[in-house]
Structure 1
Amino acid sequence: MELNENLSSLEEENAVVVGAVTDPLEQSKAIAEEYNIDFPITYDVDHKVGSKYGVHNVPGGMDMGPVNTHSIFVIDEQGTVRWHDISPHEMYVPLESILEELKKL
């Protein structure tokens, strides 16, 4: 929830935070409410966003079907991906790493 807690730091770098989730809508809404998520969340139930950014896959050894891998992208105003972190194992990227990449834009 570090992104949510530091939206003002990200906004100072002219960043807009948008989440994309593949979980069922009601489950995602409940999590957003529980953690007071203040940024927009898109529901990628058909995996179009995940496929476009190359993070849609079938995890080995899991019976839950295809999912989008945990990832963070920095996309410039022209829509070009300038930096990304894709991790099948961790949901966390330090805020400082993201801010460093934003400052390079």
Structure 2
Amino acid sequence: MAFVALAHDNGELREVGISRYAADPGMERCECAVTVADDWRHRGLAVLLMRHLIEVARHEGFKALYSRDLGENDDMRELAEFLGFSRKQDADDPSLVIHTLLL
């Protein structure tokens, strides 16, 4: 599942953001990600895209959404905290953290 945000830029449509999830085997959890174009950051687009993704994941019956992110990714940390995700160190890779939202 994916949501794509498009914007008009000089008369052309341009992709400015995307959120997506992919189901784990067993269909109880799904890994999610969000990306926003640099010139669209800090304008609420990531929150909007993720809220749509969360709503669909709940509707589809998933129990949790999670993402693996670099520990130094402050933008993702702030977004995850704002949306209610918990955060823990990845036991397999100390440079990564896992953000999890129980649905």
The alignment's TM-score, normalised by the length of structure 2, stands at 0.29
| Higher helix fraction (1 or 2) | 1
The alignment's TM-score, normalised by the length of structure 1, stands at 0.29
